[in-house]
Amino acid sequence: MTLNFTGLLRRKISFAAGAACLLVASLSGAAAEPLKIAADIGYAPWAMRQPSGEIEGFSIEVAKEIARRIGRTGVEVVDVNFSAIFAGLFAGRYDMIVAPMSMNKERAAQLLFTEGYMTGGIGLVTRSEDDSITKPEDLRGKVLATNSGSFTDTWATENEAKYGYKVQRYDKDSDALQAVIAKRADADVVNLNVGQYAASKNRRLKVVHRIFVNYDLGYGFRKDAKELRNQVENALECMKLDGSLQGLHEKWFGEQPDPADSSMKVFAGYGPIGLEGYERSYHKPDCK
């Protein structure tokens, strides 16, 4: 069950909404201390370190706004390789994981998740001047680049015979995208959000097709952190309703979210519907 508030998403954040969420968080006992978040720094545009040392990106900005709304003094970013990010959470090194993470049955058995804040998928990227490729069916006889060992590599391998292309693998998304620019490959199959970001920064690239796999990204917490999870989810829902989450999506990925994206919906209860940890209790986002 979802409540679609698309019509409200272009409204600006009001001071009253932020102040009330701050008050609610304070009354519920949220500590006046930074929210400790785990991010895999260097994964653009989610979390990146600038030459000044400052850390920025979509995940960081969303987390800062959530922290403000629940009464924290800011965020403390802990840089963790994704392969070790669960262990650090269980060891209490940070409060929540903000690195992009798909929600599934196996992960929900270990973590508490918020509802989805974005719908993940993969996209097809080509050179801007190339109009010969608009969908996977146009790849026959061509070279398709991808990030070796990634989810997109799995898709490329599974569909190679079906669409008749040759897979060219690279160690990083940036290398695969550069191969397209340099004409060593005709297209790149890449995480959709990474592709959108790359195209917004480089006019030689464009996203020509979205291959959605219908999985939502969510923020992860320890199993004993239900109160914090619920506070964060309330703030996240308020950001969906007042348009600030949509605005950050446009800022970092170069376009508006798709109408079917989970960033455009407020879900009933707390957590991801259908997965372990979902709390089936009606609540209206408290954004007043």
- Bond into 51 cis (ω within 30): no
Helix (H) or strand (E) holding 39: strand 35-39
- Cα–Cα distance between 166 and 129 in angstroms, integer? 21
Under 8 Å between Cβ of 229 and 276:
no
Examine domains 2-117+218-267 and 121-214 and report if their fold is the same.
yes
The predicted-structure confidence for 47-98, as pLDDT tens digits, reads as follows 999 999 999 999 999 999 999 999 999 999 999 988 899 999 999 999 999 9
Domain locations along the chain: 2-117+218-267, 121-214
- CATH of region 2-117+218-267: 3.40.190.10
Q: In whole angstroms, how far apart are CA 15 and each of 12, 29, 66, 197, 229? A: 10, 22, 14, 30, 23
Under 8 Å between Cβ of 57 and 16:
no
- Cα–Cα distance between 146 and 27 in angstroms, integer? 49
Mean pLDDT in residue range 221-239: 97
Under 8 Å between Cβ of 136 and 163:
yes
- Cα–Cα distance between 122 and 179 in angstroms, integer? 18
Under 8 Å between Cβ of 237 and 285:
yes
Match 């923020």 to its residue by tokens: 219
- Cα–Cα distance between 273 and 280 in angstroms, integer? 8
Indicate the pTM of the whole model. 0.77
**CA-CA-CA-CA torsion sign (41, 42, 48, 53):** positive
Residues contacting residue 266 through CB under 8 Å, at least 6 positions apart: 2, 3, 5, 115, 237, 240, 241, 285
Residue 8 reports pLDDT greater than 60: no
Mean pLDDT in residue range 166-191: 95
Under 8 Å between Cβ of 47 and 59:
yes
- CATH of region 121-214: 3.40.190.10
The predicted-structure confidence for 254-285, as pLDDT tens digits, reads as follows 888 989 899 999 999 999 999 999 999 888 88
